[in-house]
């Protein structure tokens, strides 16, 4: 099963565009982990044509808040429909289990004993200052965390998050996470 774990950073925020629609934002950089090659890569907008063939061959797109944020934003750049590819939104799975949103940093701390290397507003400032390598490093780090959380959940059927000094367990049903989605992938672009 080819898994693409991904995360997007933007060059603006909702206040800048006057809506809460992720598709109204602009992508600055996207990072992925490709399970087929076991490599991390990143792409700026001008390089997205290199990304599409990778995504089109994916069996699943894995992210954190990806169904609500990343996929709708990325879909505006794509000539097909990325929602045709199976997605696994870890935050969505958490919400199904405990009925609330939990920040990636809290889950990383509770489950992996690690922290994010920054936050989205810092990444936006780095982008505006032309510090692309900082944005790239931050985004790839978020992909690494998301990948490790996915692997932990598959192995243990749960994740943990820090709430103050306490660790809270999130039971997850991962039974269908490894199933391939039936139907054709978009493959709208020539290879």
- pLDDT (tens digit per residue) in 30-65: 999 999 999 999 999 999 999 999 999 999 999 999
Q: For the chain, how many structural domains are there in total?
A: 1
pLDDT at residue number 115: 87
Model's pTM, two decimal places? 0.91
Run of H or E including 138: helix 132-156
Domain range for 46 is: 3-171
pLDDT, tens only, 96-126:
999 999 999 999 999 999 988 877 788 889 9
- Whether 16 maps to a domain, the answer reads yes
- Any idea what the CATH number is for the domain that residue 27 is in? 3.30.420.10
Q: Tell me the sheet residues that pair with 163.
A: 166
Cβ proximity of 23 and 12 under 8 Å: no
Run of H or E including 50: helix 48-56
């Amino acid at each position: 099963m080819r898994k693409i774990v991904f995360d997007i950073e933007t060059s603006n925020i909702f206040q800048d565009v006057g809506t809460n629609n992720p598709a109204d934002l602009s992508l600055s950089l996207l990072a992925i982990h490709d399970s087929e090659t076991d490599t991390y890569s990143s792409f700026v907008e001008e390089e997205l044509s290199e990304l599409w063939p990778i995504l089109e061959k994916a069996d699943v797109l894995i992210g954190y808040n990806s169904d609500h944020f990343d996929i709708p934003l990325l879909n505006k750049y794509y000539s097909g429909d990325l929602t045709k590819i199976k997605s696994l939104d870890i935050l969505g799975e958490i919400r199904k289990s405990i009925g609330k949103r939990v920040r990636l940093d809290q889950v990383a701390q509770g489950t992996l004993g690690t922290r994010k290397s920054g936050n989205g507003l810092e990444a936006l400032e780095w982008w505006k200052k032309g510090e692309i390598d900082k944005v790239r490093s931050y985004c790839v780090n978020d992909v690494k965390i998301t990948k490790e959380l996915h692997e932990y959940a598959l192995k243990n059927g749960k994740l943990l998050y820090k709430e103050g000094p306490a660790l809270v367990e999130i039971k997850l049903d991962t039974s269908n996470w490894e199933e391939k989605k039936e139907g054709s992938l978009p493959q709208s672009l020539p290879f």
